[in-house]
């Protein structure tokens, strides 16, 4: 089982990212679950969402404390939340940042593999808003290869309707621009 923890801020799409990843995995015949963890948070407050993917039915229904992968949708969280908390020794971090991957790795004080893309820049240019959910999914697929890129097309079309193509383009652009070290 692969366990993914998403860190974002309310309104950025962390919960949507987890759901879309689960739907893409289900498109491939895998088992998946996605769920948020938040209380009285509001737009802009830190939020966490979770996703599990497996080839067998998933029976666990708890938060993820030792993720295989951490996805960060807002670079400001890197300085205020210990996003790498509990990350498995061979785990991955995928984040948006305008800083170099080396600088992000140093900031997080980790030795794990990391994928970095300026998802905010891509989202603003492609979508007109700094909502990084679909861009970070592109970066996640490039860094971790959990599911095929094509598996996101049906969930994107279902979720985003007439703006699905823009989201697919943002996803692809982030996939192409992710730097992995």
Residue 65, CB-side half-sphere exposure with 13 Å CA sphere: 3
Statement: residue 37 has pLDDT above 90: no
Residues 108-118: what's their mean pLDDT? Answer: 97
Statement: residue 40 has pLDDT above 80: no
Q: Please name the residue ranges forming H helices in the chain.
A: 14-27, 77-80, 101-108, 119-127, 133-144, 153-160, 164-177
Residues 151-180: what's their mean pLDDT? Answer: 98
Helix/strand/coil (H, E, C) string of 117-128?
ECHHHHHHHHHC
Residue ranges of domains in the chain = 2-180
- Can you give the pTM of this predicted structure? 0.95
* Residue-level pLDDT at 130: 93
What does each C-alpha distance from 158 to 79, 85, 169 come to in angstroms? 35, 34, 16
User: How much of the chain, in percent, has pLDDT values that exceed 70?
Assistant: 97
Statement: residue 69 has pLDDT above 60: yes
Residues 143-158: what's their mean pLDDT? Answer: 97
* Residue-level pLDDT at 157: 98
Residues 103-127: what's their mean pLDDT? Answer: 97
Contact 155, 20 (CB under 8 A): yes
Residues 69-77: what's their mean pLDDT? Answer: 97
- Superfamily of domain 2-180, CATH level 4: Pyruvate-ferredoxin oxidoreductase, PFOR, domain III (3.40.920.10)
Note the maximum CA span of the chain: 41
Residue 180, CB-side half-sphere exposure with 13 Å CA sphere: 15
Confidence of residue 38 (pLDDT cuts 50, 70, 90): low
Per-chain mean pLDDT for the chain = 95
């Amino acid at each position: 089982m692969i366990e993914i923890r998403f860190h974002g801020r309310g309104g950025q799409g962390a919960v949507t990212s987890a759901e879309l990843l689960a739907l893409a995995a289900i498109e491939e015949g895998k088992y998946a679950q996605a769920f948020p963890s938040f209380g009285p948070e509001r737009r802009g407050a830190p939020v966490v969402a979770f996703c599990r993917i497996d080839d067998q039915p998933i029976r666990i229904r708890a938060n993820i404390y030792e993720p295989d992968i951490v996805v960060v949708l807002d670079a400001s969280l890197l300085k205020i939340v210990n996003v790498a908390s509990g990350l498995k020794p061979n785990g991955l971090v995928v984040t948006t940042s305008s800083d170099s991957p080396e600088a992000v790795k140093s900031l997080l004080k980790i030795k794990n593999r990391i994928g970095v893309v300026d998802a905010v820049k891509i989202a603003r240019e492609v979508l007109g808003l700094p909502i990084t959910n679909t861009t970070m999914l592109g970066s996640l697929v490039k860094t971790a290869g959990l599911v095929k890129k094509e598996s996101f097309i049906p969930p994107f079309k279902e979720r985003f309707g007439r703006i699905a193509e823009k989201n697919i383009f943002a996803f692809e652009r982030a996939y192409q621009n992710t730097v992995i070290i």
